[in-house]
Amino acid sequence: MARMKTLTVDLGERSYPIYIDTRILGKSDLLTRHIPGKQVLVVTNDTVAPLYLEKTLESLSAFDNDAIILPDGEEYKTMATTQLIFDKLLANRFNRTATLIALGGGVIGDITGFAAACYQRGINFIQIPTTLLAQVDSSVGGKTGVNHPLGKNMIGAFHQPQCVIADTDTLNTLDDRQLSAGIAEVIKYGMINDYEFFLWLEENIKSLLARDTEALAYAIECSCQNKARVVAADEREGGQRALLNLGHTFGHAIETGTGYGTWLHGEAVASGMYMAANLSARHGWMSSEDLERIKDILQKSRLPTFAPEEVSTDEFIKHMSVDKKVLAGKLRFILMKGIGKSFITEDIQHNLLIDMLNEMPRCNSQVLDK
C-alpha cells in the first residue's frame, strides 16, 4: 500500500504539514498532535455533518469537544454565519488555547479560518478539507474570509492552519459537478507554471473524472506542492502569489454577478481561465493551438467555457473593478505567454478586453445544474 504523503508549507515557525492519504479522517494521533489546549470546536455544515462529523468527534474524545453545524452554501459564507461561531465560542467559554477544526469544503474552511483569525485576536485552527477543491487549494495557504454582497472574499485575514488533513476517501461522496469544480483548480496549476503537470492532466483527465484513487492522489499532491511553493515564497501576495488567481478576476465577477452559489467557484474559475487564455491569444501572447488545448481539457472536465447571459460586458467591468488585484484604479490581469507561462500585467488593450467579453458565448446559468 502507498505510504501517506506529507508535504510541508515552509513558513518558518508557522510551517505546517499537509497529510494526504486514504483513511486518515478519524485517525486520532494524526489530529491530536496539532491540538495544544483542551478545548476543540468542530465547524461543519448540514451536508458534511451526517457523513463525517461522528468519526471526527470520536477521534477527539480526549478533549472538551463540541461541534457547530452551519447551513450549507456559498450564500452563507457571510459575516452573519461567522457570528454564529463567535456566539458558540463565547457561550461555551472557549479561551485563547482553543482550536477550531474546519470539516468541509472551501466555504467551511474559509469561514472557520476567519473566525479563528478573529476570535480573541487569533486562535489555532486545523483544516480537514472534504472537497477536491479544498484539498488542492483553499485549505492550503492561510487565506480566510467571507463574501460581501458587493464583492467576493472582500472581508478576511491571512491566518495559517496548524495542519491540513486531506483524506481522499471523502471524495467518494462528492457529486460529479463538485468533482469537476475541483478539477478546474487542479488544471489551474498546470496553466500557471507547470507544463509537465498540464501534459499529465491531458493524458489522465478520464482517470480523474472516474475518481481513480492513484490519479487523484497524484493530482492532489502535485497541486499542493505547487501551492505550498508559491505560498512559502510570497505568503501575503506581495508578488507572485497573485498568479494563483488565474481566472479569478473574471470568475469572481461571474460569482458576484449571478448571485453567490449559482455558479460553483470552480466553474467560475474555469470560465475565467478560458477568458484569460482568450485575452492572451488576442494580444498575440498565446497561440491558437494552446487556446484550443485549454478549451478542450476544460470541456472534457465538464467545465464551462462560456459566460453567464445574466452578466453583461458592462457588469463584468463593474464587478472586476472591485477585485482585490486592482491597484491605483488599474485592473490587473493574470495572463499567459503559453500554457505554463503565466504573468501579471496591467498593460492590456482595453478594446481587446471588451471584444473578448462581447464575443464570449453566453448561456443561461441553469445549464450548469443539469
So which residues are the catalytic ones?
121, 143, 185, 227, 237, 241, 245, 248, 252, 265
Q: Of ligand NAD, ligand GLY, none, which one does residue 241 interact with (CB within 5 to 8 Å by kind)?
A: ligand GLY
Q: How far is the CB of 106 from ligand NAD (least distance, A)?
A: 2
Q: In the set 130, 162, 193, 258, which binds ligand NAD (CB under 6 A)?
A: 130
Q: How far is the CB of 286 from ligand GLY (least distance, A)?
A: 22
Q: In the set 143, 159, 319, 325, which binds ligand GLY (CB under 6 A)?
A: 143
Q: Does 137 bind ligand GLY (CB under 6 A)?
A: yes
Q: Which region, judged by CB under 6 A, interacts with ligand NAD, from 25-33, 69-77, 281-289, 316-324?
A: 69-77
- How far separated are the first and last CA of the chain, in Å rounded? 38
Q: How far apart are CA 160 and CA 193, in angstroms?
A: 24
User: How far is CA 192 from each of CA 72, 187, 196, 230, 245, rounded to the nearest angstrom?
Assistant: 31, 9, 11, 11, 9
Q: How far is the CB of 350 from ligand GLY (least distance, A)?
A: 26
Binding positions for ligand NAD, 260-289, rule CB under 6 A = 265-266
Q: Pick from 206, 171, 190: which is nearest to 301 by CA?
A: 206
Q: Of ligand NAD, ligand GLY, none, which one does residue 245 interact with (CB within 5 to 8 Å by kind)?
A: ligand GLY
Q: How far is the CB of 133 from ligand GLY (least distance, A)?
A: 10
Q: In the set 16, 34, 74, 187, which binds ligand NAD (CB under 6 A)?
A: 74
Decide whether 72 or 290 has the Cβ nearer to ligand NAD.
72
Q: Which region, judged by CB under 6 A, interacts with ligand GLY, from 61-69, 86-94, 144-152, 237-245?
A: 237-245
Q: How far is the CB of 133 from ligand NAD (least distance, A)?
A: 4
Binding positions for ligand NAD, 97-116, rule CB under 6 A = 104-108, 110
Q: Which residues neighbour 298 within 8 Å (Cβ) at sequence distance 6 or greater? A: 184, 187, 270, 273, 274, 304, 305
Q: Does 24 bind ligand NAD (CB under 6 A)?
A: no
Q: How far apart are CA 132 and CA 148, in angstroms?
A: 25
Q: Does 188 bind ligand NAD (CB under 6 A)?
A: no
Q: Which single residue is written with the C-alpha cell 480526549?
A: 62
Q: Does 181 bind ligand NAD (CB under 6 A)?
A: yes
- Phi/psi at 67 (5° precision): -140, 150
Cα torsion 84, 87, 93, 94: sign: positive
Q: Which amino acid is residue 251, in one-letter code?
A: G
Q: How far is the CB of 129 from ligand GLY (least distance, A)?
A: 13
Q: How far apart are CA 130 and CA 135, in angstroms?
A: 7
Beta strands per DSSP E along 204-319 = 307-308
Q: In the set 65, 117, 123, 141, which binds ligand NAD (CB under 6 A)?
A: 141
Cβ(181)–Cβ(265) below 8 Å: yes
Three-state DSSP at 10 gives: coil
Q: How many residues does the chain have?
A: 370
Q: Which residues neighbour 235 within 8 Å (Cβ) at sequence distance 6 or greater? A: 11, 141, 142, 158, 160, 241
Q: How far apart are CA 52 and CA 54, in angstroms?
A: 6
Whose CB is nearest to ligand GLY?
244
Q: Does 226 bind ligand NAD (CB under 6 A)?
A: no
Whose CB is nearest to ligand NAD?
106
* Cβ neighbours around 365 below 10 Å, total: 19
Which H, E and C letters describe 185-204, residue by residue?
Answer: HHHHHHHHHCHHHHHHHHHH
Q: Does 173 bind ligand NAD (CB under 6 A)?
A: yes
Q: How far is the CB of 169 from ligand GLY (least distance, A)?
A: 24
Q: Which region, judged by CB under 6 A, interacts with ligand GLY, from 94-102, 137-145, 324-332, 347-355?
A: 137-145
Q: Which residue ranges make up the site for ligand GLY (CB under 6 A)?
A: 137, 141, 143, 241, 244-245
